[in-house]
Structure formats: C-alpha cells, structure tokens
A and B are shown apart, each in its own frame.
Chain A
Amino acid sequence: MADVMSMDDIRSEAARLNIDLSSIDWDSVRVPPGQDFGIKSDDEDLNEEDSLEFDGGFGNVIIVDNLPVVAREKFEKLEGVVRKIYSQIGVIKENGLWMPVEEDTGKTRGYCFIEYNTPQEAELAKEKTNGYKLDRAHIFAVNMFDEIDKFMKVPDEWAPPEIKPYTPGENLQHWLTDEKGRDQFVIRAGSDTEVLWNDARQVKADPVYKRPFWTESFVQWSPLGTYLATVHRQGAAVWGGASTFNRLMRYAHPQVKLIDFSPGEKYLVTYSSHEPSNPRDTHRVVLNIFDVRTGKVMRDFKGSADEFAIGGTGGFTGVSWPVFRWGGGKEDKYFARMGKNVISVYETETFSLIDKKSIKVENVMDFCWSPTDPIFALFVPELGGGNQPARVSLFQIPGKEELRQKNLFSVSDCKMYWQSNGEYLAVKVDRYTKTKKSTYTGFELFRIKERDIPIEVFELDNKNDKVIAFAWEPKGHRFAVIHGDNPRPDVSFYSVKGGKVLKLTTLKQKQANALFWSPSGRFIILAGLKGFNGQLEFYNVDELETMATAEHFMATDIEWDPTGRYVATSVTSVHEMENGFNIWSFNGKLLYRILKDHFFQFLWRPRPPSFLSPEKEEEIAKNLKKYSKKYDVQDQDISVLLSEQDREKRKQLKDDWERWVNEWKKYHEEEKEARRALRDGEDSDVEEEYEAKEVEVEEELDVKEEVIPDA
C-alpha cells in the first residue's frame, strides 16, 4: 500500500469489497498510528506531542463515570435524569447518549457515553459536571473520550525518568554585550517582522533578523528584553538567542488573543475569549499562566466573561487587560485581579490565593500595584449618595494590612499614578463643584517610603483647569502636568523633594497632549499627537529650557529607547499616509527616518536594570568626562569614516552618472544627421542647447522739440 491510490482505484477497490462509497463518513476513518500510507505529512507539528487539538474525532464525546447501577426497570428513569443534566449544557446528538448494560442481568454498568455536537460543549460539560454530586454515593467522574487513550498509556510500573544530559543554552542576553552599546528594536510592517540595531552614530538601522509572517497578530518583548513573543492561532511562542532568533518555547493556547509577561518575565499570561455555543450566554474566557522557561501551565482560569469583567462603571462590561496585575517588583511573587467587591491576590509559590481567600472591598473600582513593593493602592467610589465617602487605601501583601487610608468627598473619579521607584503615589481626584455641574481636579500625593506615609494635598494654580496628562519623572521626584481648557494648554513641572510640592515652572500655550519622560529622567518630550499633528518639544527639566522643537507629521507613537539616548516617533497604519518612523537624539536632532507602508509596530528591546549600585552610578555621572573620552574618540573616527564613505558614495554616483551622460552624448552625436533628416534638414546643432541672449531694444516712444529760451 505504499503507492498513493488514485480516486479511480479507490472506486474499483470499493466495488470489489461491496462498499457504498457515498455512505461512508470519511471523518470517522482512522488510520492506525504510525501508518502514513506513503503520504508524507508536510506539517511538522503533527509529529509533536502538543498537537492534541488536531486529533479530533471523538473530541465531542465524554464518559460519565460513577453513575448508579440500576436494574432494567429503572433504566429509563436514570437515562432521563442523565439526559436532563447534560442537555442543559449543550445539544446532545441524536442517539448521542449511550448507557451500556450487562447482557445477562440487564443492569447498567455505572457509566455512559454522551456525544455532543461540538467539542466545546463536551469540554464545558466535563468542566461543569466533573465532581457533580448526584447523591452521596454517586459523585460523577467525567472524562473526555479522547483522554482514555492517554490514561491507557500510563505504564503499570514506575520507571525512573531518563536524565537528559545538560546542554548549555545560548546566552539570551548576548545583545547587551554589543561593543558599540547599541539598542535593538523590532518593527512590524506589512507581513514582515524585523529586528534591527539602532546604529545612531552611523545614522542608520542595521538589520539583525527578518522573518515574514513571524506572528499572526502582534509581537511583544518580555519586560527585561530576553524574549520576543509572537502570537499565533495555536498559542504564543517566545524567541531569542545569542546571534539570531530561535524559537525557545511554545505555549499552546488555541485562539490566544492577548499575552502579558510578569515583570520579572518568569511567567506568561495568555488570554482568549470564545464564542458561546448559546448566543444568549456571555463569552467564555480562558486564561493560562505559563512558566516562561519550562512552558508548563502553572494555573488556568476559565469562566464567563462576566466574571473577568472588572472596573466597570454603569453597566460597562468587557475584560480590561491585563486581567492579572503583577505585584512585588521583579520577583514575580504576587499577582492579583479585581472581582466584584473583592481583590484576589495569588502568590506564585503555590499559584493559589493568599490565605485561601480574597480581600473583600465593597465596590472597589480600581487598584494598582506599586512597581517595586508588594503594596497596592485601591480606589472605592462614593456610596449611598455621598453618605459614605470615597476612599483610597494602601494595602500591604502578604499581610493584607491597610497601611494608609484617605477619605475623599464629592469625588467623581480617581486615577492613580505610581512613581517608577514606588516612592510616591499621586492620586488625581476629580471632584464635583458645589453645584455638581462641573468638576475640578486636585492631587493627593502619598510619600510611601516615609514614616506613616504622609499625604500632601496639592492643586493647580487654577484648580478649574482640566488635566490632560500627568507623568512622573522615572526614578525622580518631579512630575509634569498638562492642564488647561484652551486649545493650547499649559504644561507645568513640580517637584516633591523634601515633602513640599514646589512648582518649578509653567510653560504657557503649548501644542501638547502627551508627556514622554526619558527613562533616565531629566529630559521630557511634550508631544502633540493626534489633533496636533505630531508637534514635538524636547525639554530639559534640569535647566528648564527647550532644547529643540520639531515635528513628525501625523506621529501616532513615541517611545524612548531604554537608555534614554534616543527616541523613536512613528506613524503607524492608523493613517494611510506617511507610515514609518523617525529616530531622534535625546535633544531633538533628527538622526534618520525610514518609511514603511503598512507600518504597525515599533518596540525598543527593553534592557534589564543596571547592576551598578546607585553610588557607582553617581560616581560615573560625576566623572563623566573621564568615561566619555573613549567614546569621543570613537565618535570622531566614525564621523571621519562616515564623511569618507559619503564622499566615496557621491563620487561613485557621480561617476556612474557621467558614464550615462557620455553614452547619451555619443548616441546623440551619432543620431544627429538622422534627426536633421527627420526635421527636413533643419539644423539641429543647437537644437537642445538653450541660450539666453540679452537683446537690447531701443524704441523711440515720443519725439518732442522744445525750445529752451535764453536766460
């Protein structure tokens, strides 16, 4: 049977065996394992273990065990009960319920098979009724039919697992050792995804790795830059390596929509939402938490979309991403999610709730982890028509103690902003005015690291100003606010050093609606995106002066590189025109621009935090001259090299052009006579040479004779 049969062969063979081809359900034909009839599969995945979802066939059948054993006369009653339970979950196929009986006694055997229309229904039925208590003695054990195979394969005797020899992996952080200290970024344009070096000194991007159809929806770096995650229909995958990008691990999760890494990139959360079989039901949501390195599912969460819809006001439903928010800094110790009136905090040692219960907070609206410590802030809105004030609380994990609480009155909304070191928490509070017709904004500043967590109340000069944007200086003590109701709002800078809120300056009438601090602080870009068409102002907050103003027309996104040396502004394909990105220096000098049609994403590869101690960093900053000398020389060399290259290139281009021109001249000369003939002998010598002659024309306009009388 090694040869492939043609359809004709199949028909004649069927006729010989007396088989009616039209009556065969082809899907039910199963090929013995390992048999391929000489047809090689071109899908490598088929040979791999994690492809169970392709096995299909009996995926819509479940086995219900631990049913009561009943005599023949009670058979129908039992069947009725089982049917009633299982038809609530999905549509049981016609003759899809089969309860075997003992041949001699007619008694049931205590189990049955149920076939649903779809595997999803079967899956759901298994989930919902496994462990269902029919009565005390009969607790259902429900399994997928497909899984029986798996259970059969379990060997009877335990054999020690084979210990694989250790093979050292690649250095996944190799990119950090780049001699020139460059940074990488990934771009996605059209069907291509490409990783490049930002070679700013040579004012160009240097390709690292390019792959078409690398991902099916988007790509994402892990928070420390070790991995690049891609998203596919079957699940997510991470890529990395020393010199190129190899697939390091796959995470099976059919129809995954969103992914999220834990801050220390130990875990990966994947999310998918599935159409319900019954349109009246809400979407079913599946969340998996994988261990990034081993690819093991650490915990999965399933449920209806309602259970995961959080933070909604006034009937808003939908899952807000990320569902799980990671706390406790880079150690990935805790993650939490908000539910109705509760905040559930899990810890990653056991992947279960801390103390086995959630924290009860009536009507909690929003919560937010400190970026460094296991502390989170939460906001509860006003209740009972103002009888119960709104409140912001700080909770410490794992103790679940409330560290600080502040009651707030006539609040319409609150937003929480943590400073990146977790030293400060700013809460922007929108309050109703007395008439309740409008709102005004104030800030509550929590100084987390100080004793008893003092709170500073602070308002803008004109407290009726609308706040458009707020941003903390990373690792710093300053923040910037865009405020005002004008079409051109004002931008103010404040410092909270020493417990007092001190205004540094206000810049009037800026075309800005977004703030982008450099990751190393000190510099900020005041950007006017969307309505302002990509206005950029590069501002130095130490000197309180504008370094440069520029425009990247229609810019939609701005991202600083992780070192704060360069900035990328990009126009993604929300617009049809101008797609591509610009790279700027920190002080607003345009270095280079690359245009790409259908440009979707630009992401800098993050860097892990520096190993240098703060003291060492300070010392370097102090003696910067000494350290930078080396680089000055390199810069010099490169700029000489560049201008040399540039000259070379220009010369080359010029020579090429000259060659063309000479050739054309030659042809032109050769064809002169022929051309003259075409023109009936009109002289064509000067035909293409245009000469501007200056011709002086004197014209007598008027002649008059006048007699000048003698004096």
Chain B
Amino acid sequence: MRLLGVVTRPGTSRQNKTGSWRVMRPVFDHDKCTGCTTCETICPEGCVYHTGKTEYDSDLDYCKGCGLCAEMCPADAITMKEEIK
C-alpha cells in the first residue's frame, strides 16, 4: 500500500516556488519611492519587502505578478514589466 500526495508536512512552500506562474514582474524605482509602505501592505502574497526606507522589492520566488503593488503605488514608483525567461 503506497501513500502518495496525501500528507503534506509544513515547509513545503520552500520547495514549491509558486513565482513560476508569473507573466508580469514588478520593477521598483527606489528614487521615486516615498516609503509609504502601501505596496508591502497590499501584496496578497506577502512578497514585498524592504531593505531601506525607500528600498522596496518583491520576492520573485513567490511573487505572482498580480500588479496590485504597481496599481496602488501613489508615487508611480512600480512598473510591471513582461517576464522574459
């Protein structure tokens, strides 16, 4: 009796990089950014992070490219670019 695909242990999202579904990729302009944090708050996947006050980026391992961050950014500091692989 073989069990396959029945039980999933925690931590499998580390192996399953769901960012591969993405067709558009957010590109952050750190000069235009005001550091308002809207993109980080709005991201449905929790992918947007920052390394400095205006240094925002998205974790492309998991970012689906939904474009909400770009849509909501009040400073137009995020543009969606076609993902070319």
Q: Determine if chain A interacts with chain B.
A: no
